Structures are given as C-alpha cells and as structure tokens.
A and B are shown apart, each in its own frame.
Chain A
Amino acid sequence: MESLDGTDWDVLIVGTGLSQSLLATALSRSGKKILHIDKNDYYGGSEAAFSLQEAEGWSRSVAKDGSSSTTFANVSIHQPEGSETDLTKLLSSRAYSLSLSPQLIYTRSRILPILVSSKVHRQLEFLAVGAWWVYTPGNSAEKLSGNSSQSRSGTAVGHGALNKVPSGREDIFAAQDLDMKAKRSLIKFLRFIGEYEEQGEVWEAHSQAPFSTFLSEQFRIPVALHASLLALTLSSLDADHTTTEFALPRIARHLRSIGSLGPGFGSVIPKWGGLSEVCQVGCRAGAVGGAVYVLGNGLAGPVIDEHPSDGATTETATSSDHLMVVLKDGESVKTRWIAGSRTPQPTEPQICSKSITIVSSSIEALFPPIAEGAPKPAGAVVFFPSGSLVPPDEEDAAPTLSSVYVFVHSSDTGECPANQSILYASVALAGDKAVNLLDKAVQSLLSSVNAQPQPAILWSLRYEQRSQLTQRSQLTQRQENLASTRTASLDQQILVFPPTSLDLAFDDSVLDQVKGVWRTIVGDEGGDFMVFEDREGAGADDEGGEL
C-alpha cells in the first residue's frame, strides 16, 4: 500500500467534504478498492472545522490560492485590542474548533436516520438548538414587542431587544403582550401550516406573492409579527421578497420537526464543530472498510481516458475502462470512477459573507431551558431582519438582502472553552456592506443580552463563500466536471457533486446526490443505501463484553 500507482482503483474520491465523506461511508461495505484524497492537509473541505492556528493557515492559503479557490474569498482574522484581561481569556489554539458549516440539522432531516442505519451515529453526538430570537432596534422596541413571549431578555433603553419566537401554541397563549386578535390570527396560521399541502386553495394563488402580503391578507397577522415567522424560513431575503411558496414549506418543516427527537426543539447540531464531525466520521467508516486516505494531494491535471480512441465514440463505458489521473505529487492513478465536487465559478451569483466570533461569555440568557425533559440547549438562533441594523434611509442599496442570522453555540458544543461562546453570523451579501452588517449584528447581539460585564469579542474571522444558485441535477453536473478535456465515456465515469449549499439548514438534496453517485458505482446489486450492520465488537452499549 505504499504506492498509489500500482493499484487498479475502483473509485477515486476527490475531497473530504460532506458529500464525499458520506459517499465514502456508503461505499465502505461495497468491497470496492477506494482511494480517498484531499488537496488540503485537513479533513472536511468546505465543511472543515479549525483550531485558531488552523484558521490562520486556512486564511493564508485562501489568500495565496487566489482565484483558483473560488469557494472562499477575503478571509481575514481580527483580534481586537481589548483590555489585558480579555485578551488572556483567549485560550490555546486547540481549545477551539471553529466550524465552516454550523448549519442546523432539522430533526426530520433524512440525514439523521441515515447516520443511524449506517451505524456511524455511534461516533457522533448531537445537541439541541433551543430558542430562536428576533432582534428589534432600540427605539422601536416597545412598539414592536408584540411577538415576545415569557422570557424576554434585554429591553434596556438605547439597546435593541431580543424577543423570543413563540415555538408553539402554548407559547402564543402565554405571551402577555399579544392581544387576543393577534393570538387568534397566529394560531389560525399555525393550524393552516400544519397541513398547508392539503389547503392549496388558501395559498396556491399567492405562491409567488411576497410572504408578508400573504400573512397580512390571508391571515391578518400584524406586521410586527412577520419577522418571527420569517425567521423560521431562514430566508436571506426580507419578507417583501421572500415568496410564499418558499416560506410555507420551510416554516412547516420547522414546526413539524419540533418534538420528533425530544420535547420543544426542532433542530440539532453535531458536537465538535458542525458538519466537519460528520465528514470525519464518514471518512473513518471508509477507512475501516479499507479505503486508503491521502491528505495534501489533489488532482494535478485533466483526467485522461485510458482508451481515448474508443472513448470518443463509445457511449457506455465498459468495466475494463479505466481513467488515468496525475496527482499533485506526480503519481498517476488508475481508476474506474472518479467522484468529486465542482468548484463554483467566480461568476457564480450566489455569495454570502460570514463571520465567526469568539466571545468572552457563555451568554446564558440566550439558552433558556427548552422544555421539561428536553436536553440542555447548545445552540440558539438570532435573527436580525432587514433594516433592523441599518436604518432603511441610510442603506445605499436595496435592503432586500440585508437580513442577518447569527447561530450562537455554547461551550457544550466543544467548539470553545467553558464560559465562552461562538457566534456564527451570515448575510447573503458581499463586500463592505456585508462586513458592516455582520459587525453590527454581533455588536447589537452582545449589547442586548444584558450580561454584566458586557461580553467582549476575543477573536473573529470573516470570509465570503460562494455557491451555485440552484442545485442542478447531478447529470447536468457532469457537463462541467473536474476535468477540462472529456469524452463521452469519461463523462459517465466522472461523478460530480455540486458545491456546498449556502442554506443555513442542512439541505437534504445532498443525500440524493450521494445516493445517485453511490448507485451508479455499485449498480443494482448494491443493496440498500447506507444500511449496515454493526461491525464485530463495535456494537451498542449492551453488546460486547465487560471487564
């Protein structure tokens, strides 16, 4: 196993991002000879998690790669000059595991049963996301407080306020500052959304209408409550631009997920750094299945068909067809299939800016207990509606895209030491305007949580991430594959995943793509997707011996 070029590989998996890592797990019992490489010297690709030092290395390498790495750009690290005491609070580099992929995973997401049936869940821990909050700016806080429920935090004059999004009927009834009419309209809306699919007559005619118009006209929901409902869509657009068709299924997903893995919460996050942990565990399952892992070595050049003369004319590849690729270290690898992911083009329209901020407080106020019998929350969501951070009249461009979401992770995630927390902020814009909004969101959050002394920023990282606008089908992806020169047969042996989605909730279409690639490789005899027995000795608690 000391040389890569002496082997006829069945599958070369390029990159260790989420799709590729799940593919590695899916193929781990297939008996295929698998070589899994990554050009980076860390696992996880666009879903990686970093220590402080690794984050610095990443920032340098993105800067150096320039245009060749179009997924990420403009990475910068900031360590504010604070008081001595604040600075010493930043612990050693490896006390942090900062995630490039802090997405929420809804408890109804199909990825969870897949992790269970493939038995890799045994190496993962999931934590609950508790409260969702909506920010309202200082002066108007009292006026707009209609959507607050029992646990209000931070209504200090001059600061904005965070109001908890009611998470169900009980919350709505308990809300003291909602009048009966508003309560009734909300309850009516929630009842509708519970089975909106069957009530096409209520919304289909409005599917392209702004969600705000739909809420006002169909349900008479006061404008002050729109932000709470919009928050649940995780839409990057404001309520006047988010379509009803987009909003309804997402709110339904949110509400239907609540309770399915425990009372009062609807989404989870993996411990130790978001989806990076799922990538790691996926690759480990690959290694247990015998795959060879090579970091720091990517594709160096185009894929060459071993039989170019046939390849140009033959429609279907035969089992003897192998592709040749040269790796960065000069070795050439012979493989039947190549699976990798497409890098977004610089012209790709979908872009967002993100920041990761280490804060010197556990911000307990954001993590009220979820419900009786529920796990302790490790995540919270804070939504800053368009216009709440920068007054509309000061906005130069359209405020359409200026909603900011901040995911707050407690130290229970293992991403930071105790008594600190991590703020993952994102906005669907690029450039200075985005930077300004992200900074304002973090500042506003910290000043509105009423913690004494006010939490300080210990360290922060900013970057831009690009993806593609819509997830196109895997088949059309093949036209824009890894290689620059292709033949018809090559296209069938090169299987390409789209770039990581910028959605703030895990996008289940990843699973369909992985399944599609897996099925192409293993054929109809491959059994069920990701359904495995425990390996010997790796069983549940009650199996296996005791000392």
Chain B
Amino acid sequence: MADSGATSAPKPSSSVKLVLLGEAAVGKSSLVMRFVNNDFQENKEPTIGAAFLTQKCNLPTRTIKFEIWDTAGQERFASLAPMYYRNAQAALVVYDITKASSLQKAQHWVAELQRQASPGIVIALVGNKFDLASANPASDTSTGGDDADATATAEEEEDVDGESDARKVPTKTAKAYADEEALLFFETSAKTGLNVAEVFTAIANAIPETSLKGPRGVGGQTNLGRQEDSARVNLTGANVQGPKEGCAC
C-alpha cells in the first residue's frame, strides 16, 4: 500500500470503527487475520463472542486507524451485533462464495445495518474463499494489484469445468445486489490474500472526510482550521509529546 515508510511527515490520522458481520465460517476472522498479521491459519478455532483488533491503513493524504470488531456466534439471540455496529463508520459484510445461504444471511445483515446503524455507514459486501473457485490464475498471488472487480468478473465467466470449482454464488448475482444497495463489492481470499488489503483501502477511501471529524457522518461540520481531534481529552496523560508507552524508539 502507499508509502508506509513515510512516517516522518505527520499526516492527519483518524480512527474508523469497523464491524465484521456474516454467517459463521465464511472467513471473517481469517480476513482480519490476513489484514492485520498478513497470515492465514487453515483450521483456526472459531471466535467466541467477539474480538477487537486494530490496523492502520496509509492513504496518500491521511492515515486511517481501523478499530476492527470481529463478531461471532450467538446468532440466535441477535444481541451481539447491535453493540458493535452502534456508531460504527464501516461494516464488512462477508459471505462465502461456495455457500449460497451465506449470501442470504449477508443480505439480512445489510438490511439490519441500513435500518439500525449510523446513517452514512460505509458497507462493503465481501465474497470470500475466492481460491475455491476453479481456474483462478490470481489465486496464488498475495495482495494482487489488479483492480478488484475486474479480476473477479473475468474469472467468473470461466467457471465451467466442475471438478475443483466449488463456487455457488456467481459474481454477477452478488455484484448486482451490491450495486442496487450502493455497497462496495469485492471477492476475496483470506487464504491467498487476494483483494484483502483492497477491501480495507476502498473502505478507507469511501469514508467521507467530514464524518471523520463530525458527528456520525451527518456532515456540514465546519471545524475550520481546527485539528481533527481537537475536542478529544487524552486520558493517559501523554498529551504533550511525552515518551511513547512501550516503545523504545
């Protein structure tokens, strides 16, 4: 991703709260693991409850710090997700391209977010496990540089010879739905890394700058000349450029 080394110039930095939603085993935790640690574990034990991770994403003009909430299980009670999507600025709704029912579940989540979450929340629909679709020349590249949609749709026409192709959700179907609901759309593989960074970058780019400063993306905030977090009180007493905690540099 762009200029991760250029840390000397202080770019404006903001936090973005992001929540992952989707049916169990579609690969939510694996996507986060790929994004945060660039790692993949074949048979990771499932998340219980929820997990919280952070990762920075450097854009040319600003740095976005993702605060990622990965939810899991407890579907029956439908009580966990609301405490994560409250005040979230972004949501990643994941399905598994080899499991048709998981797209339906994803659509339920999208509807719930549109009904309950902050207005202006950026939603990305993500079809994961792209590596399981057949004839994927891209499947062995990690963080492919290709344009996401182009890669995905190109593959889809060819998924004819059955054997290794486990795809159950055509790209077209999901893409059409995503367009209709104005969602970002990607097909990814947490296993190979395909498109994983791209999803987060696209989300970072889609977050309007005003919503980073103002309340809830309502916009119209005119904090002219004010620094982004000028209202935030620092609880840990490191207001002034004191030594960073736990950092030897």
> A residues touching B (Cβ–Cβ < 8 Å)?
1-2, 42-43, 91-92, 94-95, 97, 112, 115-116, 121-123, 125-128, 261-262, 268, 272, 277, 280, 283-284, 286-297, 375-378, 411-419, 535, 537-547
Which of chain B's residues has its CB closest to A93's CB?
Answer: B119
Of B117, B200, B231, B234, most A-chain CB atoms within 10 Å = B231
Q: A545–B235 contact, CB under 8 A?
A: no
Q: B119–A92 contact, CB under 8 A?
A: yes
Which of A297, A544, A546 interacts with B4 by CB under 8 Å?
A546
> B residues touching A (Cβ–Cβ < 8 Å)?
1, 4, 17, 35-38, 48-58, 65, 67, 69, 73-74, 76-80, 82-84, 86-87, 116-119, 197, 200, 214-216, 218-222, 226, 230-237, 239, 244-247, 249
With contact pairs A418-B218, A418-B221, A547-B56 given, residues A294 and B197 touching in the complex (Cβ less than 8 Å) = no
With contact pairs A116-B235, A288-B49, A292-B74 given, residues A95 and B55 touching in the complex (Cβ less than 8 Å) = no
- A339 and B57 alpha carbons, distance in the complex (Å): 41
Given the complex, which residues of A lie within 8 Å of B87, measured CB to CB? 97, 272, 277, 414
Of A91, A291, A418, A545, most B-chain CB atoms within 10 Å = A418
Given the complex, which residues of B lie within 8 Å of A544, measured CB to CB? 36, 53-56
Given the complex, which residues of A lie within 8 Å of B244, measured CB to CB? 540-542
With contact pairs A126-B233, A418-B218 given, residues A292 and B246 touching in the complex (Cβ less than 8 Å) = no
- A295 and B74 alpha carbons, distance in the complex (Å): 11
Which of B52, B58, B77, B230 interacts with A547 by CB under 8 Å?
B58
A–B complex contacts, Cβ < 8 Å, 28 sampled: A2-B76, A43-B86, A94-B118, A95-B119, A95-B218, A128-B231, A261-B233, A261-B235, A261-B237, A284-B69, A287-B80, A291-B49, A295-B77, A295-B78, A377-B231, A411-B218, A418-B219, A418-B220, A535-B52, A537-B51, A537-B54, A543-B247, A544-B36, A544-B55, A544-B56, A546-B56, A547-B4, A547-B58
Q: A287–B50 contact, CB under 8 A?
A: yes
Given the complex, which residues of B lie within 8 Å of A121, measured CB to CB? 235-236
- A94 and B121 alpha carbons, distance in the complex (Å): 11
Q: A418–B36 contact, CB under 8 A?
A: no
Which of chain B's residues has its CB closest to A547's CB?
Answer: B1
Closest 6 CB pairs between A and B? A414-B215, A537-B53, A295-B79, A287-B49, A417-B218, A126-B233
With contact pairs A1-B74, A291-B49, A419-B220 given, residues A125 and B215 touching in the complex (Cβ less than 8 Å) = no
Q: B58–A542 contact, CB under 8 A?
A: no
With A92-B119, A412-B215, A544-B55 known, 20 other A-B pairs at CB within 8 A are A43-B83, A125-B232, A127-B233, A261-B235, A262-B239, A272-B87, A283-B83, A288-B50, A293-B49, A293-B74, A293-B79, A293-B80, A375-B233, A411-B215, A418-B215, A418-B218, A418-B220, A535-B51, A541-B65, A541-B244
Of B74, B77, B230, B244, most A-chain CB atoms within 10 Å = B77
Which of chain B's residues has its CB closest to A378's CB?
Answer: B231
Given the complex, which residues of B lie within 8 Å of A122, measured CB to CB? 54, 67
Which of A1, A123, A126, A375 interacts with B230 by CB under 8 Å?
A375
